[in-house]
Amino acid sequence: MATAYHNLSDYDFNSVPDASEMRFGIVVSEWNHNITGALLEGAVKTLKKHGAKDENILVYTVPGSFELTFGSAQFVKSGKVDAVIALGCVIRGETPHFDYVCSGATQGLTHLNATQDIPVIYGLITTNNMQQAEDRAGGKLGNKGDECAVTAIKMIDFVCRLRK
């Protein structure tokens, strides 16, 4: 339980660059909306804590985590954002479908990171049950949305510094 040793919301505030001039696209899956809504809340709150402006945080929903790749790709192609945060929650059911949704979404988002010029942040929670998801979406293990927001800011700063 790696997350048990590192709360998802714990980070060095001063290590995070100013986000006041950064533009973010957030793609949120509607599946398990009680979880993905909490992830979104954490991500937006954290982005704004570091200076991001409301008008620079674009939020679009997709039906499920398998559509996160398409939604993220559309944000990348739009040229309107400097990073994309993809938020989803896949909870294991009775069949192998869990494995295919998780691997499909993961492979798609990974492909975007390897082929496109802006970072796509992996905010997919993949759990065995709802309790594990709740623990990672504002529960005892923190909020994955917070982690994704910090990662997005740092990756935009990475790109900006490299391109100077």
Ligand X SMILES: CC(=O)[C@@H](O)COP(=O)(O)O
Ligand Y SMILES: Nc1c(NC[C@H](O)[C@H](O)[C@H](O)CO)[nH]c(=O)[nH]c1=O
Positions in the binding site for ligand X (CB under 6 A) = 90-91, 93-95, 97-98, 101
Q: Is 126 in the site for ligand Y (CB under 6 A)?
A: no
| 59-79 as b/e: b if 16+ CB within 10 A | eebbeebbbbbebbbebbeee
Site string for ligand Y, 87-116 (x = CB under 6 A): -xxxx---------x---------------
Nearest by Cα to 82 from 53, 119, 48, 49 = 119
Cβ neighbour number for residue 18 with a 10 Å cutoff: 11
Establish whether 6 is a catalytic residue.
no
Q: Is 65 in the site for ligand Y (CB under 6 A)?
A: yes
Site string for ligand Y, 129-158 (x = CB under 6 A): ------------------------------
User: What is the number of residues in the chain?
Assistant: 164
Q: Is 29 in the site for ligand Y (CB under 6 A)?
A: yes
Spell out the alpha helix ranges (H) of the chain: 2-5, 33-49, 68-78, 97-115, 130-135, 144-162
Among 17, 51, 61, 64, binds ligand Y (CB under 6 A): 64
Cβ neighbour number for residue 158 with a 10 Å cutoff: 12
Binding residue numbers for 5-amino-6-(D-ribitylamino)uracil: 31, 65-67, 89-91, 122
Q: Is 43 in the site for ligand Y (CB under 6 A)?
A: no
Binding residue numbers: 31, 65-67, 89-91, 94-95, 122, 136
CA distances (Å), 92 to each of 4, 22, 95, in order? 20, 35, 8
Footprint of ligand Y on this chain (CB under 6 A)? 29, 31-32, 63-67, 88-91, 101
Task: Catalogue the active-site residues.
Answer: 97
